[in-house]
Amino acid sequence: MLAQAEALAEDAAQYAAQHGVSGDEALRRMEAQQQSVTATDAIAQEFSSRLAGISIDHGPQYRILVLLKGNEPVADRIAAGVPIVFRTGAR
């Protein structure tokens, strides 16, 4: 059985090939994604009445996109070094 670090390195190699980034960048993104789960869970709760979706944008800049119903703007945030961008106007 692979140790957690070895499994993450293997996943990062696959991610790097799929998204055209270096192995180091792929590993950074995967670790950031794991660390940002708490933040995205909190966002889902905070905006539960307006939430239309949460997704990850893999390029060109790695970021989390949050789509909200309504037009009331929300300031962008950063979690675990990952930009979280809010977009409004979902139906």
Tens of pLDDT, residue by residue over 35-67, are 889 999 999 999 999 999 999 999 888 999 999
> Is-contact 75 83, C-beta < 8 A?
no
For residue 80, what pLDDT is reported? Answer: 85
For residue 9, what pLDDT is reported? Answer: 85
This prediction's pTM:
0.83
The structure tokens listed for 23 are 């192995």
pLDDT greater than 60 at residue 1: no
Q: How many helices (H) and strands (E) does the chain have?
A: 3, 4
> Is-contact 79 63, C-beta < 8 A?
no
Q: Which residues pair with 63 in a beta bridge?
A: 57
Q: How far apart are CA 89 and CA 91, in angstroms?
A: 6
